[in-house]
Chain A
C-alpha cells in the first residue's frame, strides 16, 4: 500500500555549475559584516546560521502587483498574490526546497492500488487565525470551493478527477477523496499553494487561513500587513512579529528600495542588476537553481516542423551554454530538451544534446531544405530572457543556413488565439512541475497550452495513461521514462536551459533558503526568516 510518494532517489541537484547552490549561503559569509548597518556579530553574517532571534518587522518588496491584487486563497494570479498566499494560508501537502513532496497540514495521504481513492488524515490541533479548529469539514469545503462548477478556481484543473459529490468525511480529521479516474498526481495538486485550506464560510474580504501569518491591513496595489499567527502548527515559527509585503511593479524601484534599506528583502533581481547588489557589503544575493524553463515551441502538425528531422535539426542548432550566457547573463543551468527537472523520474542518463551544425545541416538537407529554410519565430517579453534567447537563436540558426524572422508580440497578448497562438514556432515559460502534471498542462490533446500540438503520438499517449494509473512510484517512473525517451527524440520542445532565480536581502535577514520551485524567496518562506534584533 503506497503512501506518500516518497522520492526514492532524493536527488540533490545534479549538474554542478560554476555557481553552486552553496554560493547563496556562502555569499553572506564571504562578506564581513563590518559595514553592515546593524552589524550583528560575525557568527550571524550569512543567511541561515546562528541562533534564530524572534521579533521584528520584516518588509518585503515583491515584483508585480496592482489593481487586480486579491486575497482570495484560491484565486492568486500575480507574484504578490502568491507571496501573500504562502504567508496567509497552508495547503495539505507542500514541496520541500529540493522539490520533493512532504505533508504540511496532512499527517498522511494514502491511496488504494490504482489511485482512485485517497484517504487523508489531518495533523492534530491545527487552528485557523480565528482560533477555530481545522477539520475534515474545512477540507471538504475548500475542495468544493475550488471545484465549484459555477465558478471554478485556479486549481480546478489540477483536481479534475476528484469526485465533487463524493467527498467523504470519516471523522474530524479524516477525509476520503474518491476520484472518477486514477489520480496519482493528487498529492502534487494538494501541494499547490492555491489549493489551500480555508474555514467553512470563508470570506475573501475578511480572509482567514491557517498559514503562519494573519492579515491585519491590506491596501490594494500597494501593500499588506500581517502579524504572527500564534496558533501556527510548526513549533516556534514564524520568528518575525510582523510581515509587510509591498507591491513593486517596477524593477529599478524595487532594487533601489533595497539599496536604500527601505525594505529588507526583495524578490526577482533583474540579472543585469545583480552586480550592483553584489558590490554593496550590506546586501546579500540568494541564487536558486529552479525547474523553470523557457522553451522554444515547434508545432509538430505544421510545416516545416511536421518533419521530425527539422525538429531534430533545430535542437542541434542551439549552443545551450552560449544562450544561457547571453539570455540569462549566465544565471541558468543547461537543459536537455526535457522538462520536469525536479521530478524523480527526470532522465539524468539521456545523452546531453550539444550544438552540432553539420548534423543539423544534414538533417535539414534530408528534409528537403538543402538550399535554406526561412521560419518566423514569435517572441514576446513574457519572462526575463525570452526575447534575448530568440535573438541568440536567430544568430545561431544563421550558421546552419536557417533564416529566422522575429515577430514580437505584446506580452499580455502572447497567448491570445487572435495573435495566432499556438504559433508554428514560438516560445513560452513554465514553472517547475512534475512530468505528468506538466503534460496535462501542455502536451496532451486538449491541454490548455498545447503549444507543440504534441500528444498525437499513440505510443506516448498510451504510456502517459498507464503512468497516470500506476500508484507505485518506482513502477510509474519507469513508464514515464519510456515516454520521456520518445519526447526526447521526437518532441516539439527545445528546452535549452533552466533559469536561476536571484533574490536579495540585507545582511540583517537570515533563514532564507533557495528552493527549486521557481517561486522566489524559497517559495516565499517568510515563516523561516529571522532578523538581527
Chain B
C-alpha cells in the first residue's frame, strides 16, 4: 500500500513536469510576447526593448525554461510578467478564494448527490427514479457556464432577485450561493448516476439477499451491507468530479467576477504571463493528481482483497 502511494506520487511529479513542458511550449507557440501584450497599442520599439530586457524575453527559449525550472526546484514560482510581483504572493489570495469555493461546492454536491442516487436505486423505475435520471441527464448535457447564466436569469436580479449574481468585496454571504450552486449542479449528475448504478448492483448481490433472508431490518441491510460495498466505485467518481472542479472553477469565476484563480488564469493567458500560467495550471493539475490518488486509496481500502494483500 505504502509502496503503491510512493510510486503514484513519483508518477504524479513526472506528470506535472510534462504538463509544465507542454504549457511552456504552448505559450511560446502563441504569436506575440508578454512585452507586446502588456504595452498594447502603446508599444513603441524603445519601450518594447526595455520591457523585454526586464522580463528576460531575449534569452533562448530553452534557457528561459531552465531558469524557471531551477526556481521551481527551489520552491520559487518566479515573478509574474505583467505584475512584477512574486507569483506566490500574487496567487495566495485567489487560491484561498477558489479552494473555499470548490470546498463549499463539494460539500453541497456530494452528500445530496449520494442521497439522491441511493434513493433512486431504492425506488428503481418509480417516478422519483425517472425524474432524477432525466434531470441529471439534462443538467449533465448543458455546459456549466450556461447553467450559471440560466441560474442568474432565474434567481438573480433579472429574475426572482433572490441572490446577487456578482461577487462584491463587501457583499454578504448570499453572494456565494449562485456560484456554489452552479458548480454543485455541474459535478452532481455523474455522482448520482454512479451511486444509483452501484447501489442497484449491490442490492441485488447475494450477500444483501442473504442478509434480508436472515430477517435483518432493511435499514441495517442498507447501512451494514450495501453502502460499504458501494463506496469504492462511487469514491472514484466523486474524486474525478472534485478534480474536475479545479478546472471547472475557471469559467464560473469569470462569469461571477469571483476573485479566484480562474480569473487570474484567463488574464494571465491574455497577457502571455508564462510564470503565472504555469503556476495556476500546475496547481490545477496537482489537485487532479492528488485527488485521484486519494480516490484510488479509498477504493483500495474499501476492497478487503487488496487491503490484506502484501503489495
Q: Residues of A with Cβ closer than 8 Å to B?
A: 66-69, 77-78, 150-154, 156-157, 219-223, 246, 248-250, 252-254, 256-257, 259-260, 262-263, 276, 410, 412-413, 415-416, 418-419, 448-449
User: Is A68's CB under 8 angstroms from B44's CB?
Assistant: no
| Chain B residues positioned under 8 Å from A248 (CB to CB) | 257
| Chain A residues positioned under 8 Å from B272 (CB to CB) | 412
User: Is B156's CB under 8 angstroms from A419's CB?
Assistant: no
Q: A263–B171 Cα gap in the complex (Å)?
A: 11
User: Is A66's CB under 8 angstroms from B255's CB?
Assistant: no
| Chain A residues positioned under 8 Å from B263 (CB to CB) | 66, 221, 249
| Chain A residues positioned under 8 Å from B37 (CB to CB) | 412
| Chain B residues positioned under 8 Å from A259 (CB to CB) | 157-158
User: Is B31's CB under 8 angstroms from A419's CB?
Assistant: yes
Interface residues of B in 281-304 (CB under 8 A from A): none
Q: A410–B30 Cα gap in the complex (Å)?
A: 10
- For this complex, 9 residue pairs linking A to B, each with C-beta atoms less than 8 Å apart, are A67-B83, A220-B83, A246-B168, A248-B257, A253-B255, A254-B257, A257-B166, A262-B171, A410-B31
Q: A152–B157 Cα gap in the complex (Å)?
A: 46
| Chain A residues positioned under 8 Å from B5 (CB to CB) | none
Q: A118–B32 Cα gap in the complex (Å)?
A: 40
B217 to chain A, nearest CB (A): 51
User: Is B166's CB under 8 angstroms from A262's CB?
Assistant: yes
User: Is B169's CB under 8 angstroms from A222's CB?
Assistant: yes
Q: A222–B90 Cα gap in the complex (Å)?
A: 12
Q: Residues of B with Cβ closer than 8 Å to A?
A: 30-32, 36-47, 50, 80, 82-83, 85, 90, 93, 149, 152, 156-158, 161, 164-166, 168-169, 171, 254-257, 259, 263-264, 266-268, 270-273, 276
A-B residue pairs, 4 tightest by C-beta: A66-B267, A68-B82, A253-B257, A260-B157
B170 to chain A, nearest CB (A): 9
User: Is A418's CB under 8 angstroms from B31's CB?
Assistant: yes
| Chain A residues positioned under 8 Å from B45 (CB to CB) | 448
Residue among A67, A151, A260 making CB contact with B276, cutoff 8 Å: A67
Residue among A151, A156, A253 making CB contact with B256, cutoff 8 Å: A253
| Chain B residues positioned under 8 Å from A156 (CB to CB) | 44, 46-47
B79 to chain A, nearest CB (A): 11
B207 to chain A, nearest CB (A): 53
User: Is A221's CB under 8 angstroms from B85's CB?
Assistant: no
| Chain A residues positioned under 8 Å from B161 (CB to CB) | 260
User: Is A262's CB under 8 angstroms from B164's CB?
Assistant: yes
| Chain A residues positioned under 8 Å from B156 (CB to CB) | 256, 260
Given the interface pairs A220-B85, A262-B166, A412-B37, the reply to whether A250 lies near B276 with Cβ below 8 Å is no
Of the candidates B44, B46, B168, the one having the most CB atoms from chain A within 10 angstroms of its own CB is B168
User: Is B164's CB under 8 angstroms from A221's CB?
Assistant: no
| Chain B residues positioned under 8 Å from A253 (CB to CB) | 165-166, 254-257
User: Mostly helix, strand, loop or mixed at chain A's interface?
Assistant: loop
| Chain B residues positioned under 8 Å from A412 (CB to CB) | 32, 37, 270, 272
User: Is A220's CB under 8 angstroms from B257's CB?
Assistant: no
Residue among A68, A154, A418 making CB contact with B271, cutoff 8 Å: A68
| Chain A residues positioned under 8 Å from B268 (CB to CB) | 67
- CB closest residue in chain B, given A69: B83
| Chain B residues positioned under 8 Å from A69 (CB to CB) | 83
| Chain A residues positioned under 8 Å from B166 (CB to CB) | 253, 256-257, 260, 262
User: Is B32's CB under 8 angstroms from A413's CB?
Assistant: yes
| Chain B residues positioned under 8 Å from A219 (CB to CB) | 93
Q: A246–B263 Cα gap in the complex (Å)?
A: 14
Q: A219–B93 Cα gap in the complex (Å)?
A: 10
B82 to chain A, nearest CB (A): 4
- CB closest residue in chain B, given A77: B40
A278 to chain B, nearest CB (A): 14
Residue among A222, A254, A413 making CB contact with B259, cutoff 8 Å: A222
User: Is B44's CB under 8 angstroms from A152's CB?
Assistant: yes
Residue among A68, A150, A157, A223 making CB contact with B50, cutoff 8 Å: A150
B156 to chain A, nearest CB (A): 7
| Chain A residues positioned under 8 Å from B254 (CB to CB) | 249-250, 253
Q: A378–B13 Cα gap in the complex (Å)?
A: 44
A440 to chain B, nearest CB (A): 12
Q: A418–B36 Cα gap in the complex (Å)?
A: 12
B53 to chain A, nearest CB (A): 10
| Chain A residues positioned under 8 Å from B41 (CB to CB) | 415, 449
Given the interface pairs A68-B82, A449-B41, the reply to whether A256 lies near B157 with Cβ below 8 Å is yes
Q: A248–B165 Cα gap in the complex (Å)?
A: 13
User: Is A249's CB under 8 angstroms from B266's CB?
Assistant: yes
| Chain B residues positioned under 8 Å from A68 (CB to CB) | 38, 82-83, 267, 271, 273
Q: A260–B41 Cα gap in the complex (Å)?
A: 34
| Chain B residues positioned under 8 Å from A250 (CB to CB) | 254-255, 257
B211 to chain A, nearest CB (A): 54
Q: A156–B44 Cα gap in the complex (Å)?
A: 9
Residue among B32, B50, B267 making CB contact with A221, cutoff 8 Å: B267
Q: A261–B171 Cα gap in the complex (Å)?
A: 11
Given the interface pairs A248-B257, A253-B257, A262-B166, the reply to whether A66 lies near B82 with Cβ below 8 Å is yes
A205 to chain B, nearest CB (A): 10
- CB closest residue in chain B, given A152: B46
| Chain A residues positioned under 8 Å from B271 (CB to CB) | 66-68
| Chain B residues positioned under 8 Å from A78 (CB to CB) | 40
6 more A-B contacts (CB under 8 A) besides A68-B267, A157-B44, A250-B257? A220-B83, A249-B266, A257-B168, A260-B161, A260-B165, A410-B31
Residue among B31, B82, B264 making CB contact with A416, cutoff 8 Å: B31
Q: A412–B34 Cα gap in the complex (Å)?
A: 10
Of the candidates A68, A78, A410, the one having the most CB atoms from chain B within 10 angstroms of its own CB is A68
| Chain A residues positioned under 8 Å from B164 (CB to CB) | 260, 262
Given the interface pairs A67-B83, A249-B266, A256-B166, the reply to whether A221 lies near B38 with Cβ below 8 Å is no
User: Is B42's CB under 8 angstroms from A77's CB?
Assistant: yes
Q: A278–B225 Cα gap in the complex (Å)?
A: 62
Residue among B32, B46, B257 making CB contact with A418, cutoff 8 Å: B32
A519 to chain B, nearest CB (A): 14
| Chain A residues positioned under 8 Å from B169 (CB to CB) | 222-223, 246
Q: A153–B169 Cα gap in the complex (Å)?
A: 32
Q: A69–B264 Cα gap in the complex (Å)?
A: 12
| Chain B residues positioned under 8 Å from A223 (CB to CB) | 169
User: Is B264's CB under 8 angstroms from A154's CB?
Assistant: no
Q: A260–B268 Cα gap in the complex (Å)?
A: 29
B88 to chain A, nearest CB (A): 14
B242 to chain A, nearest CB (A): 26
A159 to chain B, nearest CB (A): 12
A270 to chain B, nearest CB (A): 15
User: Is A413's CB under 8 angstroms from B31's CB?
Assistant: yes
- CB closest residue in chain A, given B171: A262
User: Is B165's CB under 8 angstroms from A416's CB?
Assistant: no
A378 to chain B, nearest CB (A): 13
| Chain B residues positioned under 8 Å from A413 (CB to CB) | 30-32
